[in-house]
């Protein structure tokens, strides 16, 4: 009996052990395994979400890089236009300054000519006045001595002027 008891006790012990294992497996399956699956699913979903975010970030980075490249090209274009207009403005300014210098030179030249002409007219008036005075004195002295020559001279002037008027 002792051998049967031992065999039976071993079988019941194994059976009890199996029941405890089955109960532990059942509890594990019912209470713990769904939490593990949920945690794994959550981790997978988070991993997938992070993957999508990474792809989205890479696409945004590529779009930003493209925008930066376009902005650089636009900036270079603006820079070349600014340089062009700066050159145009500089050349226009130089031409304007040259024109102003030419105009100033022309005005100085005209002013000098006008001053010289005024001096000439003033000198001519002075010379004419002096010459007329000297001529009057000389002719008066000459014609006082010779009255006949005075009458001939006056007739000659009158006929000369008459020819000019006609």
149, 142 in Cβ contact below 8 A? yes
pLDDT tier at 2, thresholds 50, 70, 90: low
| DSSP string over 7-49 | HHHHHHHHHHHHHHHHHHHHHIIIIIHHHHHHHHHHHHHHHHH
**Cβ-based burial of 150 (10 A; exposed 0-12, middle 13-18, buried ≥19):** middle
Average pLDDT over residues 79-105: 91
Give yes or no for residue 13 having a pLDDT over 50: yes
pLDDT higher than threshold 80 for residue 149: no
Give the integer Cα–Cα distance in Å for 158 and 164.
Answer: 10
**Pick the residue with more confidence: 145 or 52?**
52
Annotated domain spans of the chain? 50-165
For residues 40 and 47, what is the distance between their CA atoms, to the nearest angstrom?
Answer: 10
pLDDT digits (tens, 9 = 90+) for 34-52: 999 999 999 999 999 999 9
- Residue 151: pLDDT band (50, 70, 90) is confident
> Does pLDDT of 1 surpass 50?
no
């Amino acid at each position: 009996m002792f051998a049967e008891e031992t065999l039976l006790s071993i079988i019941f012990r194994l059976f009890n052990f199996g029941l405890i294992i089955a109960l532990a497996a059942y509890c594990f399956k019912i209470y713990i395994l769904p939490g593990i699956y949920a945690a794994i699913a959550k981790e997978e979903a988070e991993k997938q979400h992070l993957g999508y975010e990474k792809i989205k970030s890479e696409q945004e980075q590529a779009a930003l890089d493209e925008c930066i490249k376009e902005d650089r090209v636009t900036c270079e274009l603006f820079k070349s236009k600014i340089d062009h207009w700066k050159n145009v403005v500089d050349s226009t300014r130089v031409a304007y300054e040259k024109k102003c210098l030419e105009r100033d030179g022309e005005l100085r030249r005209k002013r000098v000519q006008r001053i010289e002409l005024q001096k000439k007219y003033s000198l001519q008036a002075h010379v004419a006045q002096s010459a007329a005075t000297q001529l009057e004195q000389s002719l008066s002295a000459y014609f006082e001595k010779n009255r006949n020559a005075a009458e001939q001279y006056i007739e000659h002037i009158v006929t000369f002027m008459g020819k000019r008027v006609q």
